[in-house]
Structure 1
Amino acid sequence: MENTESKIATLAGGCFWCTEAVFERVEGASKVIPGFTGGQIKNPAYREIISGRTGHAEAIEIHFNPEIISYKELLLIFFSTHDPTTLNRQQYDKGTQYRSAVFYHSEEQKQDAEAIVKELEDANVFEDPIVTEITQATVFYKAEAEHKEYYSNHRQQQYCQVIIDPKIKKLQQLFADKIKKAKI
């Protein structure tokens, strides 16, 4: 198999435990890294992020093979597995660090994100308007090691069962053909 250069997508859809759990199950995503981006503080720690005063969002950096999954397909999964209509909030998590955001790495990614939002709005997929921020990617800071593969390592925790399990089920229902065969 030919080695195809991977691309990067950076997305924020609330708690990064949730978005990481979804995208680490997606075929073509070779690496999913939880972290922080979009703020002013250099090298922030999780304890600073959750204060809501850094300007950073909890986000994931997805390294993906565009020959297996396109950026637009990643965006469709993203918009289907979180609520892009709530400002600075996802379920119980509240604050700017939990905002919905697409951090684009190229003009093409920006245009794709804007086009997907327009398509979803035009189709009235959501009752309320999409408030997802679309902004240029800046420095991405990796989260501390204990946040990596959080869902996979803590599936019995109530947060994982109540908040993340339904997102995984939605992924399975809507995008069964995009799920890695080895992941459930």
Structure 2
Amino acid sequence: MTKFSICLLLVVLAIASIQADGNRRPCAGRCTGHPLSGGKSVCIRNKATNVCTRLPACRLREKNCLRRDNGLEPIRETCITRCRNIPGSSGVGQCATKLRPRTKECQRRLCHDDKVASCWRDQQGACVLQTRCEAQKRNCVRNPLNQWVRASQWSCKGNVVGGGVRRCRTRPIVIKD
């Protein structure tokens, strides 16, 4: 073969490979070099096994690009707090539970007997006049060791509804001879 025919063959092969690659869309944001060590981590969750994988965001883009090229559904990321038990910027492990899953449900609960305010106290000696429903909603976000519990009306003497939290009134110690 002559030099001309070899060059012509190489040009034809190059054009064919360019056309073959032209049918696929290029993937943006490939992970190369230093972006692996820095950058944002994302969390993906397998719902069937409840196994979470923490990986750099660019790795997820790469995986989704390959899945798109193969006609598959993209992998969706979940809340990064589900990967809080996995150390480092990448790894696999059991998914952590959702943070405060019941708080929103608890605070949205409808109240039927929201008419009569009574006295409620906490473990730190604070008292407030509020309805049972208000107390339940406030307890949703309070420490379980410092919940609002019913107290005698006498403890809230001087408090008004909507007047905020005050120190509970205590009974004076009476020393009898």
Q: TM-score, normalised by structure 1?
A: 0.18
Select the structure with the greater relative contact order (CA < 8 A; seq sep ≥ 6). Answer: 1
Q: TM-score, normalised by structure 2?
A: 0.19
